[in-house]
């Protein structure tokens, strides 16, 4: 394997070097941040040609910006996609995709477990505009095969799902969806391109909350969309430009590019720490159940091994004693921080039922596998011994 072929270089090498196709006139190793809203044209004719799509080049930062372009090229390389679009948040990514491809009378099929705001957008948002949203347990692809029809325009799921770590067979579900010409959209936030590549398994569109692992430092908001060049034309010029306006700032694009340089190193540490946390919880008599794809006891462990390089940095668990025990556990922590989001350097812990998944009604959470006692941990980058010590002393107080 030649190191001279950029496509065959290792992940960390591409995360550092891919996307940049120019040399700075001043010799700067790090690309400048193009903090500009608009771009000047050499002539009026050139401006008209760019607006008409007859000539390439930048017009206005809502449509494109050199700092964003460099990041988008890098992410497309890492995810194995033809095209990438960066936007202002993970929800900006999801809404930009759906406003591009659905219309009144259409149907979308989604998995039973979704991030709370995604659930709210589908059920409390899209349905108001005459779009049918139906939940299907996609852990078994046969369930999708029975429910899908010619009316289905998009099949959407997270894998692993937030917060209970359900896994969906990307390849099998994509084959079923494509039999009726439906697009497959996968939220790959939990895994990142380092651990899982849905497009290579058959998905059409991948979304990320880049606020999480891609940025990696808890200091920005951003979203990512990856797809074919043809689909991206629609998403960029309809979903983003006209429907959401969820434009990413060049400063945040720069910060994500910087974060990507250490993504492989960080993900390895996140995975290592999550495995140790999951093993500790599984051995505790105070923990009723642990949800982590890397445990042999996890129901979908074999599928996880088949489509994920490692098992990620997220762990969910239920304490014996349910809701009250969970809250007491959180309030007993010192090093680990009670906070939503994930993928930061700090270990973060939260209670989904009252926090990230509160948009669900209680009966909906019960129906879709988000119990009142579930606790979610994002394993940080601290020394594992320190994380485990904090978790152990909190367990002792429950």
Residue 368's nearest CA partner among 115, 159, 179, 185 is: 115
Q: Which of 258, 183, 263, 185 is nearest to 224 (CA)?
A: 185
For this structure, is 115 an active site residue? Answer: yes
Q: Is 7 a catalytic residue?
A: no
- Our measurement of the distance from residue 232's CA atom to the centroid of its chain's CA atoms, rounded to an integer in Å, reads 18
Marked catalytic residue, from 115, 213, 291, 360:
115
Q: What are phi and psi of 6, to 5 degrees?
A: -55, -30
Which helix (H) or strand (E) is 325 found in, with range?
helix 322-331
Tokens 């190193």 belong to residue? 265
| Catalytic residue from among 106, 187, 231, 344 | 187
Active site annotation includes 212: yes
Using alpha carbons, list the distances in angstroms from residue 235 to 10, 24, 154, 185. Answer: 30, 30, 14, 13
Q: Which of 212, 266, 365, 376 is catalytic?
A: 212
How far is the C-alpha of 53 from the C-alpha of 47, rounded, in Å?
Answer: 10
Q: In angstroms, rounded to a whole number, what is the distance separating the alpha carbons of residues 100 and 149?
A: 20
* 307 Cβ contact partners less than 8 Å away, ≥ 6 residues apart: 159, 167, 169, 170, 171, 196, 201
Q: Which member of 34, 58, 60, 62 is catalytic?
A: 62
Instruction: List active site positions.
Output: 62, 115, 187, 212
């Amino acid at each position: 394997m030649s190191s001279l072929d950029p496509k065959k270089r290792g992940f960390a090498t591409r995360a550092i070097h891919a996307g940049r196709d120019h040399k700075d006139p001043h010799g700067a190793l790090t690309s400048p941040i193009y903090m500009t809203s608009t771009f000047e044209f050499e002539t009026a004719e050139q401006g008209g040609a760019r607006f008409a799509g007859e000539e390439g080049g930048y017009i206005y930062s809502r449509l494109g910006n050199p700092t964003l372009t460099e990041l988008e090229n890098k992410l497309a390389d890492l995810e194995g996609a033809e095209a990438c679009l960066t936007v202002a948040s993970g929800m900006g990514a999801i809404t930009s995709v759906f406003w591009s491809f659905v219309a009144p009378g259409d149907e979308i099929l989604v998995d039973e477990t979704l991030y709370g705001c995604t659930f709210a957008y589908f059920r409390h948002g899209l349905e108001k505009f005459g779009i049918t949203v139906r939940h299907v347990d996609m852990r078994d692809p046969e369930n999708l095969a029975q429910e899908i029809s010619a009316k289905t325009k998009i099949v959407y799921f997270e894998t692993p799902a937030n917060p209970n770590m359900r896994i969906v067979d990307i390849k099998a579900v994509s084959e079923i969806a494509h039999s009726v010409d439906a697009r497959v959209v996968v939220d790959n936030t939990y895994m990142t391109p380092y651990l899982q590549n849905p497009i290579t398994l058959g998905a059409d569109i991948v979304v990320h909350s880049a606020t999480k692992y891609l940025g990696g430092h808890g200091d920005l908001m951003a979203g990512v969309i990856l797809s074919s060049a043809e689909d991206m034309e629609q998403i960029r010029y309809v979903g983003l430009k006209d429907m959401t306006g969820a434009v990413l700032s060049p400063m945040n694009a720069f910060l994500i590019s910087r974060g990507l340089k250490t993504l492989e190193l960080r993900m390895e540490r996140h995975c290592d720490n999550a495995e140790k946390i999951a093993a500790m919880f599984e051995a505790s008599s105070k923990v009723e159940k642990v949800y982590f794809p890397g445990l042999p006891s996890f129901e979908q462990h074999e599928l996880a091994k088949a489509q994920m390089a490692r098992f990620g940095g997220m762990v969910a668990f239920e304490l014996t004693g349910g809701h009250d025990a969970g809250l007491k556990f959180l309030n007993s922590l010192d090093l680990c921080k009670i906070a939503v989001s994930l993928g930061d350097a700090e270990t973060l812990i939260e209670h989904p039922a009252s926090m990230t998944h509160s948009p669900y009604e209680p009966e909906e959470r019960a129906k879709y596998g988000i119990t009142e006692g579930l606790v979610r941990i994002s394993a940080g980058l601290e020394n594992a011994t320190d994380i485990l010590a904090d978790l152990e002393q909190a367990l002792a107080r429950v």
